[in-house]
Each structure stands twice: as C-alpha cells, then as structure tokens.
Amino acid sequence: MTQHLSGDDVPELTPELAALDAELRGLHIRERASFGPELGAELGHRLAEMDRPTFANRFGRRIAVGGGSVLLLALVFSPARASISDLISSFLYSDAASAMDEGPMPPAPGGELVRVAPEPLLPPVREAESELAVTPLREKARVDAGALTVYEPAEFTVPKVADPNELKTVLEEHYPAHLQAARVGGKVRVRMWVDASGSTSYVQVRTSSGVPDLDSAAREAATHIVFEPARWLGSPVGTWVEFDVGFDPATVNSEHFALRRGKPDKGVL
Amino acid sequence: MNPTDPAQAPPARDRTSTPAIPLRLAPGDDAARIRPQLPQDFAAWYEAHREVIYRYVRFRVATREAAEDVTSEVFLKALRFLGRYDPSRAPARAWLLHIARNAVADHLRMLKRRRSLHVSIDRVPDLVTDTPSPEERIMREERIQKLLNCNRTLREPDQEILSLRYGAGLSNHEIAQTLGITDNAAAVRVHRALARLKAALDTTDEMQ
C-alpha cells in the first residue's frame, strides 16, 4: 500500500482514528517539578567523580601500555611464553587444582578411583527422568561408566529451575499458536550452558521433536529459563545441562492462548 | 561553581547508602546552588531534551517513579559514553532516544521476569489533568490505564512509534529523523500503529 502522507498531521484518518489521535495528543505527561534539578545535580556529582584524579586515571594508560609491551615481548620468546602460560593456567584453575590435590577420594568396594573435573565434557547417555529433570553431564558419567566407578564430590550440586511456575509460563508463551490450534505437541531435548548466575546460553537441540517449529520454540524458550546455578564447593559455577522442553496442547493456559491470538487478555500481560 | 568555597560546596551526604538514581533533595537544599557544572554540550542537551526523553519513557512504563529511574539511567549512560557520540551520525536527540529505547527495553524485560507489566489504575494519577469531578477523574484514569495496557500488547515497532508520537510529542518529520526514515514512511507507520492500537482497544472492549 502506498500512501503519500506528509506534514505534521496524519491525514486520511477515519473519524475513529482521528478521535483516538486527539485523545492521545491530549495525554498529560509532565515530570515532577523538582525532578530536573535533582537529576542535574546527580549528573554533576557523577561528572565530578569521573574527573577526580585517581591512580587509575593518572597512571592507568601508562601501566596498560607498559604491561602490554612487556607481555608482547615475552610472548615472542618461547621460554617466557611457556612460563606465562603456566602462570595463567595456575590462576584460572587454581580452585580445581587445589581441590584435586586434596588427595584421592575414598573408594567404593571393588571400584577404581577417578577424579572428576568441575566442568567435564562427557556426552550425555541417560534419558531424563521427567520434563523438568536436569541432568548434568557429570552425573551421566557416574551412571554409565560400567565397571569404572566414578565418584562425584558431595560438594557439587546440579542446577535446578529457579521457579517452576515461571517455567510453565515461559513454555506456554513460546508454544507456537498454530501448533496449539492444530493440537500438535512434542518434546525437545536441548543442551545448554547454565552459567554461574543461572542464565542460559549456547542452546542446542540434541533430540528433535520432529516438528521444526517446536524445536525453534524450545530453543527460544530455553534462553528465558532461569536456573539456580550449579555449585562447586559452595560457589556457583557454570555447567552444561540437558533439558527436556515439552509442549503439550492439553495443558495450555487458555488465557495465554487468547493473548497470542491477538486478543489482549483482560488485566494480564 | 568553586568547589573549594565552603559556601558553594554541596551539602555532605552519605554516598555509600545513597542509591545511584534518582537523587532526592533534602529539605532546604537548593538544587540550583548545589548543581556542579556539566560539560557545556551535555548541559545544553540535558535542558533541551530531558522533557522529551521523560515523556517518551513515561508513555512506555507504568509509573512516574519508574519513568524517573529510567530517564536518570538514560542521562547517566549518555554522560558515561559522551566520548562515543558522533554528531555526524545522528542528532543529539536521536542518540538520546536510542539510549532511552534500550533503557526502556531493559526495564520492561526486568518487569516481565517479575510478571508485573500490567498498569494498574492507581499508577497513572500523574497522567490525568484537572477534571471537573472525582468520578470524571476515575473514568479518565481507567481510560488511560486501558490505553497504556493496550499499547503494550502491540509489537515493539508500533509501541516505539506511538511513544515517539504521543509520548515524546515528536512531529512526523522529527520521528523520521530519529528513526532514520523518510517523512512519508514515518507518517505511514504512525497511521498503521494507531489503527492497530484502535483494534486492540476495540478487542478489549468486546471482552469486557
């Protein structure tokens, strides 16, 4: 549709749209009288803090340039490069290294000792027990090692969904409307990284539902699920998890369904 | 302002407990007196565009307090990233509105997690002008509540264009400058968004 409209007013409005336009123009939006001066004062204080000479302000650039130059030169020489690599590794993996160095874990009768790293890369092999089951990969290793017994430190806790009710809402909101209408459901196994804050990323579909739109919806929904993160020795850590996202047309909330069909639900957004 | 002059020094306050935004003046404070100097350009921007930014934000969030918080966040970010602003790429207001758009999105995303996006009737008293009677005021508040709630059911681009038009009060030409589109395209978008808002209002009326 091509419309040649210009100017400040929007011509060719129907009487109803013109009335709505006039009503919206008459909306009275005024800030609180003292808001402007208050915010101005706050901005001024922030500016003063930014301009205040600090060690970082004065010497930060010099330190950065000097440190970068030293690092660059050191990396050129292989002996120094190896030393720097070891130094960096010692900082990054100090927690795990110290945990690992605490000594062998007590063996079970007839079993072998295997140390498990905080963030293993083992592939999943066990089916999830339920739609909401979270199965971190290290647990699977324990189940499927066969004759090899793998012991997990008791200090590791798996991620869990922070709010099951919110999860239900997330799934309902992402259930494609046309599939709901056709009563098409399914389960999608997704694999994702749950970081130390409980947020998800790097979502992948591990087992498809057979319906591409459901797979896409599951991948999108997974990014909105909030977890309580895994904990290693009491501290939150990131870990890979696999998660079954199930879409069941029989359990869809009718109000949310109506919302996605373009009809705003009364009082609920 | 001479910061070394005790007479002009801002009153001492406990910065460790003061929330970052917004700042509330203590009784007796003179905002004009305690206001340190902002960079000349930024101060001019602040005075010229603050109301527009505030109205744009207020049209999109539920309460005056939330609008003040988000507006404060916009200008704090603008101050922090002032060095990155390139006048050749966009006018100052367009840049500030771009920051405001992202700030509003962050705010609404946070509210969505808390499932508190709905605008209640008791949250819009600052949007109602003088009315002849309390009954009229209640009816007006209900109408505004319905308008804002229906606006939030629209797609993001429609909410954006309606907020620029009726919140910030921009003309079609100014909207076009802000969004980097032609005047004709801006007028068409406003027209279509208005029609969709009308449809949403009609649907709400049918359901009630």
> ipTM of the assembly?
0.72
What does the DSSP 8-state code read for residue B165? I
Q: Does A173 score more than 80 pLDDT?
A: yes
The pLDDT assigned to B120 comes to 54
A206 vs A140, residue with greater confidence: A206
SS (H, E, C) A124-155: CCCCCCCCCCECCHHHHHHHHCCCCCCCCCCC
The pLDDT assigned to A108 comes to 43
A178 touches chain B (CB under 8 A): no
A15 touches chain B (CB under 8 A): no
Neighbours of A155 (CB within 10 A): 11
Instruction: Give the burial class of B117: count Cβ atoms within 10 A of its Cβ; 0-12 exposed, 13-18 middle, 19 or more buried.
Output: middle
The pLDDT assigned to B71 comes to 95
Alpha carbons B53 and A82: distance in angstroms, whole number: 54
The pLDDT assigned to B10 comes to 43
A244 vs A104, residue with greater confidence: A244
A192 vs A28, residue with greater confidence: A192
For chain B positions 81-100, those within 8 Å of chain A (CB to CB) are: none
The pLDDT assigned to A255 comes to 40
**Tens digit of each residue's pLDDT (9 = 90 or more) over A10-66:** 557 888 888 999 888 888 787 888 888 888 888 888 877 766 665 555 566 677 777
The pLDDT assigned to A10 comes to 52
Q: Does B104 score more than 60 pLDDT?
A: yes
Q: Is the peptide bond before B22 cis (omega within 30 degrees of 0)?
A: yes
Q: Which chain B residues are closer than 8 Å to A31 by Cβ?
A: 50-51, 54-55, 58, 64, 67-68, 71
Select the highest-mean-pLDDT range: A112-116, A170-174, A236-240, B94-98: B94-98
Confidence tier at B8 by pLDDT (50, 70, 90): very low
For chain A positions 130-169, those within 8 Å of chain B (CB to CB) are: 166, 169
The pLDDT assigned to B12 comes to 42
Strands A160-161 and A235-237 come out as unpaired
Q: Does B161 score more than 90 pLDDT?
A: yes
- Chain-chain contact of B72 with A42 (C-beta, under 8 angstroms): yes
Run of H or E including A89: helix A78-92
Q: Does A207 score more than 80 pLDDT?
A: yes
Q: How far is CA B159 from the centre of its chain?
A: 13
The pLDDT assigned to A115 comes to 40
Average pLDDT value for chain B: 76
Q: Which chain B residues are closer than 8 Å to A266 by Cβ?
A: 204, 207-208
% residues pLDDT > 90 (chain B): 24
The pLDDT assigned to B54 comes to 93
Q: Which residue in A162, A142, A38 sits closest to B46, CA to CA?
A: A38
**Tens digit of each residue's pLDDT (9 = 90 or more) over B71-87:** 999 999 998 888 788 87
- Chain-chain contact of A44 with B38 (C-beta, under 8 angstroms): yes
Q: Among all chains, which residue has been given the structure tokens 């004065």? A: A58
**Tens digit of each residue's pLDDT (9 = 90 or more) over A76-118:** 766 666 666 676 666 665 554 444 444 334 444 444 434 444 4
Question: Do A20 and B199 form a contact (C-beta atoms < 8 A)?
Answer: no
The pLDDT assigned to B129 comes to 58
Q: Does B23 score more than 60 pLDDT?
A: no
